[in-house]
A and B are shown apart, each in its own frame.
Chain A
Amino acid sequence: MRDARGEVRRPIGLRLWLSGGWLTLLVLGALLAPWVAPKDPLMQDLFLGRMPPFWVAGTEPGYWLGTDSLGRDVLSRILYGTRLALIVALVAGTLTCLIGATLGLIAGYYRGWPDRIISRFVDIWMAFPPVLFAILLIAVLGPGLVSIIIAIVVIDWTRFARVVRAEAMSQGAMDYVASAQVAGRTRFGTMLTEILPNVLPTIVALLTLEMGIAVIVEAILSFVNLSISTDSPTWGGMIAEGRTSVHQAWWVLVFPLITLFLTVLSFSQLGEGLKDRFDPVLR
């Protein structure tokens, strides 16, 4: 097993750099969108509908990645869509992590009835199709940024709870925890100062993966038109429009898809890279 991993270890540096680089680019794009976006993302011009990207003949200058059926600039819409995607990734990812990891830590370390209750809820949650659950929640809460974030936290906290619970359980059985107890530390104190630091690398890696998942869930919700208001630019909304007109204007689907693809890949590669780097056995 060590041999197999040893071979994978080499490209980790490159992987982290590439994914970190793409995500930095996205953050810059989101922050500077009003200045770098060539057009107003909401501006429609029906005379310029479905213009192809710049390298194809018959384009209008200034519309680098073409226009959609209403003549809106694809590049500008992607840039503005980045804002929603990154806010959701950051806020929903962090909240999911805080809630899920806390519950997992308590269940795994305290065992007994807190564990029984939390684990039963995890079981019930595992019986829900996550996408359907998210769509249901949005339908109930009504579309909007806060609803998206709540939906992601509600469907995904179990991902953290399950993993952190298992880790906390195996850490709790170790000698150093017993010696901390003998030294007179309280249960709660031991959990925070002994267990948590040892589980933290796993939590950080999971958090990075979760941000990628949050971006996908947001894209899926806007794909079925349940994200934020319908004319705000979202990657999922652009993909939905591109899907229907894929035979007439492939660029409306392809460019947001590439952006989403690279973003999800970057988050997951970053997560995997961090996991390998932090893993004390591999180090």
Chain B
Amino acid sequence: MTLLRAFLIRFVTTIVTLFGVAVIVFVVIRVVPGNPIAMMLPPGATDADIARLEEQYGFDKSIFEQFLIWLGGVMQGNFGTSISLRQPVSDLVLGRLPATLELSIVALFIAVAIGGALALTGTRYRDTKTEGAVDVTAGMALSIPDFLWGLILILLFGVLWPVFHISGRISPSLNIDFSTNFYLFEALVRLRFDVIADLIGHMFMPALALAIPLAAIIAQLLKQSLKETMHLDYVTLARTKGYGENYVITREALPNAVLPTLTLVGVQFTFLIGGTVIIERLFSYEGLGNMAIDAVINRDLPLIQGIVILFALLFTLVNLFVDMLYVILNPRLRHA
């Protein structure tokens, strides 16, 4: 019962948060001094033309009325029409979402793999120079943001030793007739290995740049909770039973040490998704973030609005998912 109530409260807060985001974006972008409509028309346009288009996009009404109209449309799944691309915002945004999701999820996998490996190594060789090396590596990785890692990777694997593509999502020469925009997922399902290799070749560097700071956080936190778990009685018991150190760490300590890391990874994953905005720009990766920057430069109000709301929705969904996972994985909460 209490659990259900907790989730209901979370659901309501999520709605309130999304509403707040919508209001802020709406107000912020409508105090822009320039007229976005005037930018759409050729220089010779008359005032009547401008007025007609303003009416078409609803810019002649007050901010409050515009918000109500927009909100009414959103309720029916209509996010308006992009000014610069002249297509429905929902089509544009949903067309780009798969690229960003795939990038974020691949980055998350890389972060968990690197961070987990570092934490396990640090625990296995605790109080030695190896652990010190893990600490220093994680500390360095954490103090440099993803934007700089991206640039460093471009220099390393794009210029010095050019093994990966430094821009784009997929080679245009590649013949793909996929039915979704989840290229990587669909290529995996269809076993198109040429496409998989090409996608990874494009995705690896941006994903790694996004993953490095998160990997560092996972390494630090997981190592700390692993080391604390290693002192508990049941671990000592497993050891006296004659199990080796590797077995004790991975089978006995790890399942109990993972939980505190999980919550933090959830919050940090939202930061990672936020990081895709500039990383996609840096690698000319055709995702939502790259589109967002273009939308801002073109002052495409409906498109900006749609993208920001979608990001906010993603963030809140990730947090909700992590909370639910935490309850499912934590036996103490399950029986509460």
Contact = CB atoms under 8 A, between A and B. Distances in A.
Interface stretch (A40-48, A59-67, A102-110, A265-273): A265-273
B282 to A, nearest CB: 7
B78 to A, nearest CB: 22
Question: Chain B interface secondary structure, helix, strand, loop or mixed?
Answer: helix
B148 A257 contact: yes
A127 B17 contact: yes
A124 B17 contact: yes
Interface of A: 1, 3-4, 7-8, 120-121, 123-124, 126-133, 135-137, 139-140, 142, 212-213, 216, 219-220, 223-224, 226, 239, 243, 246-247, 250, 253-254, 257, 260-261, 264-265, 268-269, 272
Given A127-B21, A137-B28, A265-B144, A3 B127 contact: yes
Given A247-B159, A264-B148, A132 B274 contact: yes
Contact of A131 (B21, B275, B312): B275
Contacts of B227: 4
Interface string B285-301: 00001001100110100
Interface of B: 13, 16-18, 20-21, 24-25, 28-29, 31-33, 127, 131-132, 135, 139-140, 142-145, 147-148, 151-152, 154-155, 158-159, 166, 224, 227-228, 270, 273-278, 281-282, 289, 292-293, 296-297, 299, 304, 307-308, 311-312, 315-316
A120 B16 contact: yes
Contacts of B304: 136
A261 B274 contact: no
The 5 closest A-B pairs by CB, nearest first: A129-B274, A268-B143, A124-B20, A127-B312, A131-B277
A135 to B, nearest CB: 5
Contacts of B155: 246, 250, 253-254, 257
A135 B308 contact: no
25 contacts: A4-B224, A120-B20, A124-B21, A126-B270, A127-B312, A127-B315, A128-B311, A129-B273, A129-B277, A129-B289, A132-B293, A132-B307, A137-B28, A140-B31, A216-B147, A223-B147, A246-B159, A250-B155, A253-B151, A257-B148, A261-B148, A261-B152, A264-B145, A268-B142, A272-B143
A250 B162 CA distance: 13
A250 B131 CA distance: 36
A260 B145 CA distance: 11
Nearest to A267: B143
Interface centre among A3, A135, A253, A264 (most CB of B within 10 A): A135
B330 to A, nearest CB: 22
A130 B312 CA distance: 11
B268 to A, nearest CB: 12
B143 A264 contact: yes
Contacts of A250: 155, 159
B308 A128 contact: yes
Contacts of B289: 129, 131-132
Question: Chain A interface secondary structure, helix, strand, loop or mixed?
Answer: helix
B315 A126 contact: yes
B307 to A, nearest CB: 8
Contacts of A123: 13, 17
A130 B273 CA distance: 10
Contacts of B299: 139
Given A131-B274, A224-B281, A224-B293, A261 B144 contact: yes
Given A132-B289, A132-B292, A269-B143, A8 B135 contact: yes
A218 B155 CA distance: 21
A73 B132 CA distance: 42
Contacts of B307: 132
B148 A139 contact: no
B63 to A, nearest CB: 14
Given A130-B274, A253-B151, A254-B155, A136 B296 contact: yes
Contacts of A142: 33
Interface centre among A123, A213, A269 (most CB of B within 10 A): A123
A251 to B, nearest CB: 11
